[in-house]
Amino acid sequence: MKKKSSRLSSEKTKRFGINASHNSKKRISEPAICKKCEAFYQKGRWTLDKNEIPNDPFERVEPTAVICPACRQIESGNPSGFVYLKGSFLDQHLEEIKNLLKNEEQKTARTNPLARIMSIKSAKGDMIVTTTTEHLAQHLGRTLNRAYGGTVRYDFSNGNKLVRVYWQRDD
């Protein structure tokens, strides 16, 4: 017979956030616009599409100026994803790889403007990319693997919403 767990299901799925600081419990009044990145918040979601801002003067309400969760997370310096790149291939194709990462960030921002690259730091044979979401870090790892081959590994944090992606290619 299977022993019943003494922990509640809500305890099992609870995440203890190193990056909980960017998730404010205070509800944002709609509409709102981010002072830093100009992302627009309406109907419970963030967008960068200016066409979603109402043009009808009777519907238009002046948006409240706020700082979006991604900009708050960047300010606090708490990434949710790390992408580690290594290998001799990296040195030979550094600018090309940086451009690929930035282009993928822009594509992702169309559907999720809160998914951003926080920083890209490179040294000889190494690069570290930090992201605001764990999903973007995973996406960047898959994109690198599809575009250039090599090996990719994903390490997920046990308790926090955090992922570390390791990509390597030596030539």
Using the Cα atoms of residue 10, residue 11, residue 13 and residue 19 in order, give the sign of their dihedral: positive
155-164 burial, b at 16+ Cβ within 10 Å, e below that, comes to eeeeebbbbb
Tell me if 166 sits within 8 A of 150, measured CB to CB: no
Nearest to 81 by CA among 106, 118, 123, 39: 118
Whether 148 shows a pLDDT value over 60: the answer reads yes
Model confidence, pTM: 0.79
Q: Is residue 9 part of a domain?
A: no
Task: Give bridge partners of residue 126 from the DSSP assignment.
Answer: 86, 123
Which residue among 19, 49, 67 closes a domain? 67
**Judgement on whether residues 161 and 116 belong to the same structural domain of the protein:** yes
pLDDT per residue as tens digits for the range 16-69 = 444 444 555 567 778 899 999 999 998 888 988 877 666 666 666 788 899 999
pLDDT per residue as tens digits for the range 60-95 = 678 889 999 999 999 999 999 999 999 999 999 999
Q: Residue 63 belongs to what domain range? A: 27-67
